Amino acid sequence: MGKAAALVWLLAASVILVKADEHTHTYTDNEEVVLWMNTVGPYSNRQETYSYYSLPFCKGEKESIGHYHETLGEALLGVELEHSGIDIRFKVGNPKDEFCRRLMTNDDYESLAFAIQHEYSYQMYLDDLPLIALVGEPDQSDPNGVILYTHKKFEIGYNGDQIVDVNVTVEGPITLKPNSEVIFTYEVVWKPSGVQFENRFDKYLDPTFFQHRIHWFSIFNSFMMVIFLVGLVWMILLRTLSKDYARYHKDDVEADDNDIGEDYGWKQVHGDVFRPPMFPLLFSSIIGTGYHLISVAFVMIALAIMAEFYTQRGSLLSATIFIYALCAPFNGYFGGGMYSRLSGKRWIKQMVVGSLLFPVIIGTVALTINWVAIYYHASRAIPFTTMLAILAICCFVVLPLNFLGTILGRNLKGQADIPCRINVVPRPIPDKKWFLEPWFIVLVSGFLPFGSIFIEMYFIFTSFWAYKIYYVYGFMFLVTVILMVVTACVTIVSTYFLLNAEDYRWRWCSFLSGSSVSLYVYLYSIYYFIFKTKMYGLFQTVFYFGYMALFSVALGAFCGTIGYISTATFIHKIYSRIKLD
């Protein structure tokens, strides 16, 4: 388990040329144990963080051992480790002792009071184990008073030569006053512990939350829905299609007097169904991006099931970027191949659009959020060098790999293989009832897929925005598969309705029908913001809605592509069975 993580980690680190700190996690007696201060931020929004020393805390006497080497993932996540200056030695206890003092000026007082009133807490790392502690608390007896904790007590559990457990308790409350001196103290207690090193992260996981009955129940529920849906789709299609075929071949069979030989429905549009969609370049780029995201999602879920990403800060993000770059050939292969089948001519342009479409969307949102973060001096502001690294990955890894995929796709899958000829003159699309209009079909199609995932969305949102580590990737895998099946069934049925209304614009319609689940997810995220979080302020709002929009866009591309793939397969099947004169 740990090995797979280490491998991905190593690969990611070597590709992006950012070397992680070497940690063997074993200590000799009296060896230095480094306590890293990470960030401070309001408890209600885990993602809004500022550097620890932006609050008027002081550093201990101990010499700093230089800045931590950040990995790409950490830099993007706003991890800012700084040395605490607290002297901790392996298995050497330390009674309560002063480590620094600071005169609180008026400004210092103001910022600390603000932080305490907004429930700020700070994060630390000791041997990669996260610690979190409150800065202080509002004074109950005095509405304007604030209480600051000045004493930190570290209880460290060791097993052999390894650290397996850390607790911090904050004590020493003082009523904070401007222009007073504050003395910060610390205490270290070492205890032998029976926890195994491999299991030392277990106490951060929350099985009662993630493996709650509701979670199991929702998966079971969605699963039943899938069985029901698949059965339903199968029956409808089998019955209607066989009836349709029979009617279509009525020349061979004795004529049925009920229909007067008038052809109707989807067969009428056989000369148009395989007509290229509007904006073929954009369409193939989006579908290519969808294939890309599907492959990334599957590889990442598989890796996350095998490797415990949560034991290594930022490793999930670093690995995702690495896998995203590595999966770029899928984008070119499917996007470029499709563009060629739609007889597009500007394939280089398609390749560039296809490979940069998603990165540009992410970049735009991230840069907008970055402006706000810089304005607020949040540690979330992405450093310039990190941006350059990401840009370099896009230009020198993603683009060439995509090029490779495009060449392959054009040569191996570039020939159109349509079962019906395309008429020269497009057929006019007849007027139809409002509930058969594409916009309505698209809107309705998102409903069932959303129903199958919204409980999972709650768990994912909660682990992203609150202090929970998501670790039940097996659940995530099941839900993803369920979502794919539901999306496929629903889009096939809705496209069948569309074609029966003699509207042949199924390509965009099937994509949008699949992707409309993301609209509902975004609406759900608004609900979640209002009722499930206590976020406030411009920064948190922009941050939340920006990243939720990105998530929804990615989900939309994912599900839309699933919808398109399944519908395309279905359409090829049914139209290759009708015999044309």
* Stretch touching ligand NAG by CB under 6 A, among 40-48, 151-159, 424-432, 514-522: 151-159
Using CB under 6 A as the binding rule, the residues of this chain from 179 to 218 that contact ligand NAG are 191, 193
Quickly list DSSP for 292-305: HHHHHHHHHHHHHH
Residue with tokens 């890293």: 36
In the chain, count H helices and then E strands.
17, 10
Minimum Å gap between C-beta 194 and ligand NAG is 9
Quickly list DSSP for 369-413: HHHHHHHTT-TTSPPHHHHHHHHHHIIIIIHHHHHHHHHHHHHHH
Strands (E), 368-520: none
What three-state secondary structure class fits 269?
A: helix
Minimum Å gap between C-beta 155 and ligand NAG is 4
* Stretch touching ligand NAG by CB under 6 A, among 27-35, 153-161, 287-295, 409-417: 153-161
The count of residues in the chain is 581
By CB under 6 A, residue 165 contacts ligand NAG: yes
* Stretch touching ligand NAG by CB under 6 A, among 34-42, 104-112, 154-162, 487-495: 154-162
Q: Which is nearer to ligand NAG, 157 or 332 (CB)?
A: 157
Q: Which is nearer to ligand NAG, 165 or 187 (CB)?
A: 165
What three-state secondary structure class fits 341?
A: helix
Among 60, 73, 78, 157, binds ligand NAG (CB under 6 A): 157
Residue with tokens 């680190």: 13
Cα 447 to Cα 509: distance, rounded to the nearest angstrom: 15
Quickly list DSSP for 119-141: TEEEEEEETTEEEEEE-EEE-SS
**Residues touching ligand NAG, count (CB under 6 A):** 7
> Is residue 498 within 8 Å of 437, Cβ to Cβ?
no
Q: Which is nearer to ligand NAG, 200 or 410 (CB)?
A: 200
What three-state secondary structure class fits 106?
A: helix
By CB under 6 A, residue 167 contacts ligand NAG: yes
List 124's β-bridge partners, or say none: 37, 131
By CB under 6 A, residue 155 contacts ligand NAG: yes
Spatial CB neighbours of 358, under 8 Å, sequence gap ≥ 6: 289, 292, 293, 554, 557
Q: Which is nearer to ligand NAG, 126 or 501 (CB)?
A: 126
Q: Which is nearer to ligand NAG, 162 or 320 (CB)?
A: 162
> Is residue 471 within 8 Å of 204, Cβ to Cβ?
no
Pairing of strands 35-42, 120-126: antiparallel
Minimum Å gap between C-beta 211 and ligand NAG is 20
By CB under 6 A, residue 94 contacts ligand NAG: no
Minimum Å gap between C-beta 203 and ligand NAG is 7
Q: Which is nearer to ligand NAG, 42 or 157 (CB)?
A: 157
Q: Which is nearer to ligand NAG, 167 or 221 (CB)?
A: 167
Minimum Å gap between C-beta 168 and ligand NAG is 9
Minimum Å gap between C-beta 84 and ligand NAG is 19
Q: Which is nearer to ligand NAG, 35 or 353 (CB)?
A: 35
Minimum Å gap between C-beta 49 and ligand NAG is 24
Q: Pick from 60, 144, 151, 152: which is nearest to 109 by CA?
A: 144
Binding residues for ligand NAG, per CB under 6 A? 155-157, 165, 167, 191, 193
